[in-house]
Amino acid sequence: MNVKLIKTEEDYQLALQRLEAIFDAESNTPEGDELEVLSFLIDSYEKEQFPIGAPDPIEALKFRMEQLGMKQKDLAEVLGFKSRVSEVLNKKRKLTLEMIRNLHTTLNIPTNVLIQEY
């Protein structure tokens, strides 16, 4: 096993090529151990080089509504008035702390997503 830290794009590409070559390695074998270490190193490099930010709060809300098959009228029960739902979804009204708490509790949307600026 000749594994080294991934510091450059070239190191990253070589690591990906090696990972592909040993992808089907059995656990508890030298190649299986190498696969596990390479996976960790690649994951660490990708998180550092290609960070993924949290989604827009309103887009996250719309996505969750779609997942749950909710309509705007259903969201009115969580946010209050039907007109308020329309304003929030069209980004004409900011989410209040109470709305954020209700959305987190009712729809299980992480608060760190809901508190972001939009």
Q: Quote the pLDDT of residue 51.
A: 87
Q: Quote the pLDDT of residue 23.
A: 94
Q: Is the pLDDT of residue 1 over 80?
A: no
| 61 close to 89: Cβ distance less than 8 angstroms | yes
If one counts every other C-beta atom within 10 angstroms of the C-beta of residue 107, the result is: 17
Question: Could you state, in order of their start, the residue ranges of all structural domains in the chain?
Answer: 9-49, 57-114
Helices within the chain (DSSP H only): 9-21, 30-49, 57-68, 72-79, 82-89, 97-107, 111-114
Q: Is the pLDDT of residue 89 over 90?
A: yes
Q: What pTM value is reported for the model?
A: 0.59
Distance of CA 7 to the CA centre of its chain: 24
CATH topology of domain 57-114: 434 Repressor (Amino-terminal Domain) (1.10.260)
Residue holding tokens 């690649």?
A: 42
Cα–Cα distance, 58 to 22 (Å, whole number): 42
Tell me: the pLDDT tens digits for 29-83?
999 999 999 999 999 999 999 988 888 999 999 999 999 999 999 999 899 888 8
Tell me: the pLDDT tens digits for 2-33?
789 999 999 999 999 999 999 999 999 999 99
Cα–Cα distance, 35 to 18 (Å, whole number): 9
